[in-house]
Structure 1
């Protein structure tokens, strides 16, 4: 019973947080500000929104294609159509249960391509490691470009960056200690976890066995370039934002990348976080949140369409299996 309640809370609480943030954002705005926000959304140039969706679709297609480079050393060659539909179905699942998409993605390929779940899931973790490295690199470059603004913000809000670094190092230490306990323990459930981890590690090692390392690196960089472009082009859809410096948009991109995992598909949190970071650079809350809503909305519509079709077409495409 407790496990069932916990699972329900994992789904409901992030969704409630997103709804609350939407309500609070609109409630705290004046009627004029709400009207301006709505007007910015209604008058947005649809061609740039479609272009954003195109860039997003290309990034997902490249992710599906990149996946085969990690599965080939394990002896598997899935069809690109199955890989792409598994990726899109996974993104759609994240709107229901945060971070469940990776599990569904591996399960889909395990079902239709007969790839062991642990190995498929291990390659997804390897992908995430590569993506985290790129994301941290983008974050570091953005922080360097915006050092002056960030230091002023920390000072104004009495934030000590060293505390955040200390917490991060503490979490890393706890994680390493936990791994050592799992490695040496003979408790039955920890032994099962260790066996599961061995399958995951085999999948993760595939990145070192790839014959086409440079192709993998190219697609990794291409995926993130498409992410940045799908975010950046939305600027040109909102009057008054088209001259915003690229470095400021990148700061919003970094914040949005972290905020989107806070709730189901980033609902509520994403546009509010984008609006908040852009306000630091003297961009109005209405323009900033309109930018956030349009960016989130275009990608959400694309995931709903492609993800929904993937759920329907996966069993049809593989009906002979």
Structure 2
């Protein structure tokens, strides 16, 4: 497939999915429900929204600071401000093609701090692996707390425990097979990939080998703590959501995080997933929808603001 066509599809298909979900959600709401959502958003206490955005910005800064530990281990000492600005730009780019921001981040660090692209990108991949592990920790905690509710929902969809076990075993078997092939296979294509990604491997191993790995891991927990608090605070912005329990919040946080990767910046998918999960706990659809759109819109506006500002500041602060 032509590379240009592939890039267009990567941009357009998730966007179409997001727009489709917005249309579906809109069509499923009555005029009265739409008016209630509008009223809830107009009467929201935006002090809590601003506080949530402040926590989100702190999370971005912690991510930039954590990045220094991996880069320092490799012998590179970029300015924290440049790390922060490139992180903000990467989130902005992710609003176009999902996960394309990671490449942009490494490119910008190469441009402004002369860190080799493959090594910078390797440290970013390492971040994603650590972040994925922490996210799975949230998933385990959330599913353990809400097993009865979720299992009851799956049963209504004719998905039994046996099917879930088989799917899990199949996924684990594929993962083990992939790891075995990667380590032991002598196939030319595998050897070429290993050579190509040698710099990435160094970045991945940097977390394990770095002198301050516990600082790195500690910052990782702080980052995800910020993300969870960022999602929790807005419940106080709407009077209809004040009484939502933390157990519901953590499930909304999990599925909202997953939804972000399905469309451009989570457009459509994020509010839809929040409404779906909150609905399992008896929260009215219009209330859950209002909350989902409030969180997504405020975070997206923050991403746009910080990303554009950072893009302008990077060349200005690094003039030689």
Structure-1-length-normalised TM-score: 0.94
Quote the residue 2:4 is aligned against. 4
Quote the residue 1:97 is aligned against. 97
Superposition map of 1:101-250 within 5 A: 101-159=101-159, 160-173=163-176, 175-176=178-179, 179=182, 184-187=186-189, 191-250=191-250
CA distance 1:185–1:261, change in 2 (3 Å): same
Distance in 1 of aligned mates of 2:92 and 2:179 = 33
Aligned residues: 317
Quote the residue 2:293 is aligned against. 293
Deviations 1:72-116 (A, max 9, x none): 111001001110011000000001111101000011111111111
For the 8 Å contact 1:118–1:196, the answer to whether it is kept is: no
Over the aligned positions, Cα root-mean-square deviation in angstroms equals 1.6
Quote the residue 2:53 is aligned against. 53
Instruction: Kindly state the Cα deviation for residue 170 of structure 1 after the two structures are TM-superposed.
Output: 4.8
Instruction: Kindly state the Cα deviation for residue 177 of structure 1 after the two structures are TM-superposed.
Output: 5.9
Quote the residue 2:278 is aligned against. 278
Q: Secondary structure at the match of 1:240?
A: helix
For the 8 Å contact 1:142–1:247, the answer to whether it is kept is: yes
Quote the residue 1:37 is aligned against. 37
Distance in 2 of aligned mates of 1:203 and 1:176 = 18
Which ranges of structure 1 fall in alignment gaps of 5 or more residues?
none
Quote the residue 1:313 is aligned against. 313
Superposition map of 1:65-104 within 5 A: 65-104=65-104
Deviations 1:100-148 (A, max 9, x none): 0100001111111111101001111111111111111111011111011
Structure-2-length-normalised TM-score: 0.95
Distance in 1 of aligned mates of 2:195 and 2:26 = 49
Q: Which range moves more in the overlay, 238-247 or 269-278?
A: 238-247
Q: Which range moves more in the overlay, 171-180 or 280-289?
A: 171-180
Deviations 1:276-298 (A, max 9, x none): 00000000111111111111111
Distance in 2 of aligned mates of 1:178 and 1:4 = 31
Distance in 1 of aligned mates of 2:95 and 2:173 = 31
Distance in 1 of aligned mates of 2:283 and 2:100 = 35
Which ranges of structure 2 fall in alignment gaps of 5 or more residues?
none
Distance in 1 of aligned mates of 2:275 and 2:111 = 42
Distance in 1 of aligned mates of 2:269 and 2:173 = 27
Instruction: Kindly state the Cα deviation for residue 164 of structure 1 after the two structures are TM-superposed.
Output: 3.3
Instruction: Kindly state the Cα deviation for residue 163 of structure 1 after the two structures are TM-superposed.
Output: 4.2
CA distance 1:192–1:317, change in 2 (3 Å): farther
Deviations 1:58-79 (A, max 9, x none): 0000000000000111100100
Distance in 1 of aligned mates of 2:81 and 2:198 = 29
